[in-house]
Amino acid sequence: MNSVVIGSGFGGIAAALRLKAKNHKVTLIEKHKDLGGRARVFRKNGFTFDGGPTVITAPHLINELFQLFNKNPQNYIQIKPLSTWYRFVFEDGSKFDYSGNEQEMKAQIKNINKDDVVGYENLLNFTKKIFDKGFIELSEVPFDNPFFMMKQIPSLLNLKSYKSVYALVSYFVKDEKLRRLLSMHPLLVGGNPFTTTSIYGLILYLEKKWGIHYSMGGTGKIINGMEKLMKEENINIIKGQEVTNIISKDNKIIGVKLDNNEEINADNVICNADPPSVYSKLTESKNLNSLFKWKMKRMEYSMGLFVYYFGTKNIYENVEHHTIKFGNKYKEHLEDIFDKKKLNNDISYYLHRPTATDRSMAPEGNDCFYVLVPVPNNQSGIDWSVEGEKLKNLVVDKMEQSLLPNLRDNIVEDFYLTPDYFEKDLNTKHGSGFSIQPKFSQSAYFRFHNKSEIYDGLYFVGAGTHPGAGVPGVLSSAKVLDKIL
Ligand SMILES: Cc1cc2nc3c(=O)[nH]c(=O)nc-3n(C[C@H](O)[C@H](O)[C@H](O)COP(=O)(O)OP(=O)(O)OC[C@H]3O[C@@H](n4cnc5c(N)ncnc54)[C@H](O)[C@@H]3O)c2cc1C
């Protein structure tokens, strides 16, 4: 079998490796000169900035890829567990250190609201049930059959999938701060906690089960390790070339065309590129039936991301590896981002400080950071060439006030990415950070199928297909592919 993979995100690389292990002849094509997609690395004057994923969960899904070829993952990558997972900071200055240490978790919950300790325990037990169904049972199986989906409905109803993650958490826990921190997980995969189906409550339990990890040298080291493995296994990697067309004959895929006009024949094309962009830009729209066009049109896209990368000439010793800072208004802020598609000054943000764990990420005596602010995707019409600089200044001001005193004077290296980067450089529809939103109406059978229903020989892995965004999600999508190809 001759298989071509378009895109080198975690999902694309995992697909290439899994198909190679099944003896396919594999070619992986990446538009950029470096691999990784959202997990690309930017290096500036001794600072190493991981572009995207920083929180590594379910590391066995990464290790498995090396084990497929009887290779020891430790010869390629070094993944280490973190003890504090997230530090949550609220507008009133109060903090919560979130971890897998249940005694410390409960002590902190008790300080906030003693009645919520039992609620928290019940929530954990409930999310285990969701995890068993949603992750263990269903994350690695294809959802291309409506009858299979219908069979799942009774158990999904039992698990209260009709509720949002925030509503589920609120059912168990009463304090607003605890509700926010226990329901924030959908934001990690591009969803609004107030509208994302509670199936995604499984992430809370997934973290508890396997912990939160860091890849020494940065997430980019995992991509490097997998690239080395692909080369050893003779996967043909073409970098710096964009696929402009997926070629088909009578709805059977026969190859791809590159931006240098070269054509590559293939029995199968596996797209790690964003499915809505693939269907609208790389294939011929006359082949899409009206039902499919309607499905694409009604899709709701995840939020956009503003990511400001910066290095400082001093060390902020007291800042944790992962900090989540909540603004005052939370629900309203999320409505502005997801529904009204407008910017708001009362921002919440995630601050990454890899140097808290790994000094190699910055020159000696310096600190390395990125701050991620959820923003509307490009359906907003925001002009980022104007708003980007304003948002940078706003978030620097906010960080100076709460977490990083005198920040402005200490920055020695910086740049930022806006939804324009996601749209133009990563070819993501509307510049969304995580493809389509993880709503019930866009999950499982209702998401873009792993096996195209339009073309014979066209497949999808990555954030826009089943099971969804996040590194464990996209690695699982390659396991689905393994079952159908
Ligand atoms: C800032 C940020 C922080 C995140 N943090 C975390 C985290 O801490 N933990 C976590 O688990 N997840 C995190 N995520 C989510 C996670 O990074 C993504 O869901 C995942 O990496 C997406 O992988 P993917 O396989 O879908 O491919 P992508 O990374 O989206 O890569 C797709 C690739 O396809 C290429 N491509 C597109 N079109 C073409 C074409 N026509 N020809 C050739 N190549 C093409 C693109 O250049 C790109 O390299 C984060 C995401 C972002 C953006």
416 beta partners: 308
Give the orientation angle of helix 202-210 with respect to helix 116-131, to 10 degrees: 90
Residue 177 backbone phi and psi in degrees, to 5: -65, -45
Q: Specify the residue with its C-alpha closest to ligand 1, atom 45.
A: 7
Residue 466: C-alpha distances to residues 194, 267, 451 (Å): 21, 22, 10
Give the orientation angle of helix 116-131 with respect to helix 165-172, to 10 degrees: 140
Q: Please give the Cα distance from 430 to 216 (Å, whole number).
A: 33
Q: Specify the residue with its C-alpha closest to ligand 1, atom 38.
A: 273
Ligand 1 proximity of 16 Cβ (cutoff 6 Å): no
Q: Please give the Cα distance from 223 to 56 (Å, whole number).
A: 13
Which pLDDT value is given to residue 292? 92
Quote the ligand 1 centre to 420 CA distance (angstroms). 15
Ligand 1 proximity of 426 Cβ (cutoff 6 Å): yes
Ligand 1 proximity of 353 Cβ (cutoff 6 Å): no
List pLDDT tens digits, range 139-184. 999 998 899 999 999 999 999 999 999 999 999 999 999 999 999 9
Assess whether the previous peptide bond of 193 is cis (omega < 30° from 0). Answer: no
Amino acid, single-letter form, for residue 367 = D
Quote the ligand 1 centre to 394 CA distance (angstroms). 26
For ligand 1, pick from 4, 38, 421 the residue to mutate: most ligand atoms within 8 Å of CB. Answer: 38
197 beta partners: 164
Ligand 1 atom nearest residue 32's Cα: 47
The list of the chain residues with pLDDT below 70 reads none
Which pLDDT value is given to residue 39? 98
Count the Cβ atoms, other than its own, within 10 Å of residue 150.
10
Q: Specify the residue with its C-alpha closest to ligand 1, atom 17.
A: 53
- Which two three-digit tokens encode residue 342? 């407008």
Ligand 1 proximity of 7 Cβ (cutoff 6 Å): yes
Ligand 1 proximity of 427 Cβ (cutoff 6 Å): yes
Ligand 1 proximity of 481 Cβ (cutoff 6 Å): no
Ligand 1 proximity of 55 Cβ (cutoff 6 Å): yes
Quote the ligand 1 centre to 435 CA distance (angstroms). 9
Q: Please give the Cα distance from 168 to 175 (Å, whole number).
A: 13
- Which two three-digit tokens encode residue 355? 């140097």
Which pLDDT value is given to residue 475? 98
Alpha carbon 223 to its chain centroid, in Å, reads 15
List pLDDT tens digits, range 102-139. 999 999 999 999 999 999 999 999 999 999 999 999 99
Ligand 1 proximity of 9 Cβ (cutoff 6 Å): yes
Grouping H, G, I as helix, E, B as strand and the rest as coil, residue 412 is strand
- Which two three-digit tokens encode residue 211? 């912990």
Count the Cβ atoms, other than its own, within 10 Å of residue 136.
12
Ligand 1 proximity of 242 Cβ (cutoff 6 Å): yes
Which pLDDT value is given to residue 238? 98
Quote the ligand 1 centre to 8 CA distance (angstroms). 8
Quote the ligand 1 centre to 9 CA distance (angstroms). 5
Residue 178: C-alpha distances to residues 14, 117, 197, 299, 384 (Å): 36, 10, 19, 31, 34
DSSP 317-344: TT--SEEEE--S-SHHHHHIIIII----
85: exposed, middle or buried (Cβ count in 10 Å: 0-12, 13-18, 19+):
buried
Q: Please give the Cα distance from 176 to 185 (Å, whole number).
A: 16
Q: Please give the Cα distance from 152 to 130 (Å, whole number).
A: 12
408: exposed, middle or buried (Cβ count in 10 Å: 0-12, 13-18, 19+):
exposed
Q: Specify the residue with its C-alpha closest to ligand 1, atom 2.
A: 52
Ligand 1 atom nearest residue 370's Cα: 1
Which pLDDT value is given to residue 198? 95
- Which two three-digit tokens encode residue 152? 């799942």
Which pLDDT value is given to residue 287? 86
* Radius of gyration, CA atoms only, the chain: 22
Q: Specify the residue with its C-alpha closest to ligand 1, atom 51.
A: 52
Helix (H) or strand (E) holding 335: helix 331-335
Which pLDDT value is given to residue 285? 82
Contact 106, 448 (CB under 8 A): no
